[in-house]
Amino acid sequence: MLQQASTGANNSSMDEAAFELRLSEMKAALRDKGVAITRKRAKLLEVLLASDRHPSVSEIHEGVKTAYPGTSLATIYNTIEILKETGQVLEIEFSASANRYDGRIPVSHPHLVCLQCEKVEDMDIAAPHDPLDSVSRITGYDIVRLRTDYYGTCPDCLKASPSPSGERGCA
């Protein structure tokens, strides 16, 4: 089970049972689309699920290349696209930097984003009501997702010693 830190950020790893369950769900979704589960794709899924930082495509690619050096970037992009189509991964879009991917919780949920080190973390908060339903009723739109991100400086960067200019940040 995922643990919640005092900041409200979800900083811990998935337990083994949750990891295996998500891994099997993701593999089943790929198989249902007619995609073979090659060793490279299986490694991609493991890298995606093992990361609590919401990795970018290049970070996933680097993780897969440690085991399979010949893995192409196209394999990573194509697999991520299929995972997005099947609802098995959440794409977190950023205009100024690389998009990130969340395979652990593939539905809209709040994130904490550090402006210093660009860490992206899940935030566990209880929603008092269903905002999608409320907005749909009020506007007539068929709302399919909600994105809430909180931007600031993470505790690690806050603890880092100030630079000569007086700014703080993770090294």
CA distance 33 to 28: 9
pLDDT of residue 2: 30
Assess if CATH 3.20.20.140 describes domain 9-159. no
First to last CA, the chain: 30
Amino acid found at 146: L
Of the pLDDT bands very low, low, confident and very high (cuts 50, 70, 90), residue 37 is: very high
* Crossing angle of helices 57-67 and 39-50, rounded to 10°: 130
Per the DSSP assignment, residues forming a β-bridge with 81 are none
Least confidently predicted of 11-15, 52-56, 82-86, 131-135: 11-15
Render pLDDT for 57-78 as a digit per residue (tens, 0 to 9). Answer: 999 999 999 999 999 999 999 9
Residue spans of the domains in the chain: they are 9-159
| pTM for this predicted structure | 0.74
pLDDT at 160: 87
pLDDT band at 128 (very low <50, low <70, confident <90, very high): low
